Amino acid sequence: MTQAPSGKLRVVPLGGLGEIGLNCLVLDWNGYALAIDCGVMFPEPHMLGIDLVIPDLSYLEQFGDRFLGFVLTHGHEDHQGALPFALRTFSVPVYATPMAQGLVAERLKEHGLSAEFRVFRAGESWDLGPFSIEAIHVTHSLVDTVALAIRTPVGVVIHSGDFKFDQTPIDGKPSDLHRLAQYGELGVLLLLSDSTNAERPGHTPSERSLREPLAEIFAHTPGKVFFSTFASHIHRITQAIELSLAHGRRIAVVGRSLLNSIKIATQLRYLDCPASLLLDAKDLPSNESDRVTILTTGSQGEAMSALIRIAEGGHPQFTMGPGDAVILSSRVIPGNEKQISNLINHALRRGAEVYHSQNTPVHVSGHGSQEELKLFLRLCKPKFFVPIHGELRHLIAHRRIALELGIPPENTFLLENGKVLEIDAYGARETGRTTAGRVFVDGKGVGDVVEVVLRDRRHLSSDGLVLAVVVLDQQTGSVIAGPDLVSRGFLPEAGADLVMEQARQLVLDSLAELPLESRTDSQEVKEQVRRVLRRYFARTLDRRPVILPFVLEM
């Protein structure tokens, strides 16, 4: 009789559950841990001034040299973009496929960093402490994407990564359903599966389904074609290059991230982009013709992207006008709707035709819909199931699918970031919570902007600011000068004089009523000024600006 292993497998999501992006999940067996992915989330509209959001990885600090490394499922930013920040704290190997390794290395170079990479390919296996890992090829909107089969002392854990089951992929390499089914026959303890499209019925269309509508645009556009997609979407870029060749167009590439992706994919032979096909962007003013495709970043309408500057007429090398076509071949990232709308309006104002996912089939998702999620579950036949990668509504929808397929409710777990799932020989259970959350990156500052700072920024942006400067006699507390009131984002200059004069007089009257010991205490004076002004502006204008008193003593 085989003795049950002593120990517990802890499954700890640090990001990606309850949100889109920020993906990072830790497996911990008896104090040895690995992290699957380490991604960023792009700031939401209320995160004023924030550049990036990264996961709080402080949970990993307890493991010391028993933290074995980061294992990446693929190279998208929401799965690897936090590594330049994480690797400043954790000196561990990064396990990645060739394309992911190339993308991460470029990003690390921008930060003046390097890493110890262990490159693997789909179908390969390796040992990592108490874990044995196999990479299984799955299709997605990026080449070199894998699911992970992780053998642990208590059983096999399968992490789907991001996936869809494209049966006619551009590179001719469909997902390895056979290997997933083999694991299902051998027995899968736990499945962690992508939930992004769990609310979408049916199947996600194949990448190849875009060929015909894109070909129509390329064939019937008399002018230039501005083709914008995510820089890492090599299969989409491949289609744009092939259609350009078929219609006698040369190509200019604009955008550093796009140039880097094309360079890496070409070196790895995932992309065939003949040098003779490419125009140097700086040569376009003299070589510009109707038969040009301009591959560019900026499909999200980013303020400083090349595409928005071209559409606004402010780019030094490219112009847009009647007869041109703009193809926005990407999904709309939540929060970017307004800036994408602005981009479309600018392009239409120039006379160009604009094709996007709302009016033409120029984009398909890289994530599986409900029927693909069902197939993944049926192939793996897991004992336990945890939906990952998605907002709460996506996780709930995915859990509902698992229940429909017969997985017992007590064997499905709706985790949140920081919630701990423990699995041992006796079953699985939630066992509390550990440290998890969001860390804000603002310029060169990492983690120094906390929620209270964001709240102040939102307050400033909605209600404005009033500075109140008072000069006091240090001995008597009498007012020598002021209060001088200066406002920003609160009142227009015209018509503000009367309001500010009344506010100034109220401050003087209130300070005169303070006892001597209070008038000579600068903190007491500041609080009194703040109280008087806050009460006055709320009563007379129903506004609540940020009040910043400054007290100078002489």
The residue whose two tokens read 């190279």 is 75
Residue 554 CA to residue 522 CA, distance in Å, equals 12
- CATH number of the domain at 496, please: 3.10.20.580
pLDDT at 535: 78
Residue 222 CA to residue 247 CA, distance in Å, equals 11
Q: What's the pTM? A: 0.80
Tokens linked to 214: 């894109």
Dihedral in degrees, nearest 10, Cα atoms 392, 396, 402, 403? 150
Nearest CA to 549 among 516, 517, 513, 511? 511
Last residue of a domain, one of 411, 446, 481: 446
Q: Is residue 277 domain-resident? A: yes
Contact indicator for 149, 134 with CB cutoff of 8 Å:
yes
- pLDDT (tens digit, 0 to 9) for every residue of the chain, 554 residues total? 456 677 899 999 999 998 888 999 999 999 999 999 999 876 555 544 455 788 889 999 999 999 999 999 999 999 998 999 899 899 999 999 999 999 999 999 988 899 999 999 999 999 999 999 999 999 999 999 999 999 999 999 999 999 999 999 999 999 999 999 999 999 999 999 999 999 999 999 999 999 999 999 999 999 999 999 988 899 999 999 999 989 988 888 888 888 889 889 999 999 887 666 677 666 664 445 568 899 998 888 777 788 888 888 888 788 889 999 999 998 877 667 888 888 999 999 999 999 998 899 999 999 999 999 999 999 999 999 999 999 999 999 999 999 999 999 999 999 999 999 999 989 999 998 998 887 876 545 454 444 544 455 554 555 677 777 777 666 665 666 767 777 666 665 555 666 777 777 777 767 666 666 565 666 777 777 777 777 777 777 766 777 777 666 65
Do 107 and 215 fall within a single domain? no
Q: Is residue 67 domain-resident? A: yes
Last residue of a domain, one of 323, 355, 387: 355
> Which residues are catalytically annotated?
194, 367
Q: Is residue 477 domain-resident? A: yes
Nearest CA to 147 among 157, 156, 164, 160? 160
Contact indicator for 435, 447 with CB cutoff of 8 Å:
no
Nearest CA to 159 among 399, 371, 380, 366? 380
Do 40 and 155 fall within a single domain? yes
Instruction: Give residue 52's identity as a one-letter amino acid code.
Output: L
Residue 395 CA to residue 18 CA, distance in Å, equals 8
Do 157 and 247 fall within a single domain? no
Do 37 and 114 fall within a single domain? yes
Tokens linked to 99: 């394309």
- CATH number of the domain at 392, please: 3.60.15.10
Q: What is the DSSP letter of 494?
A: T
Residue 339 CA to residue 138 CA, distance in Å, equals 33
Instruction: Give residue 415's identity as a one-letter amino acid code.
Output: L
Q: Is residue 453 domain-resident? A: no
Q: Is residue 456 domain-resident? A: no
Do 215 and 198 fall within a single domain? no
Which parts of 28-186 fold into alpha helices (H)?
Answer: 77-80, 83-86, 98-110, 177-186
pLDDT at 352: 94
Q: Is residue 291 domain-resident? A: yes
Q: Is residue 451 domain-resident? A: no
Do 149 and 38 fall within a single domain? yes
Q: Is residue 149 domain-resident? A: yes
Do 433 and 494 fall within a single domain? no
Do 235 and 378 fall within a single domain? no
- CATH number of the domain at 341, please: 3.40.50.10710
pLDDT at 161: 96
Residue ranges making up the domain that contains 470: 464-553
Overall number of domains in the chain: 3
Contact indicator for 386, 422 with CB cutoff of 8 Å:
no
Last residue of a domain, one of 446, 481, 507: 446
pLDDT at 369: 97
Do 92 and 106 fall within a single domain? yes
Do 322 and 436 fall within a single domain? no
Do 309 and 439 fall within a single domain? no
Do 249 and 282 fall within a single domain? yes
pLDDT at 518: 62
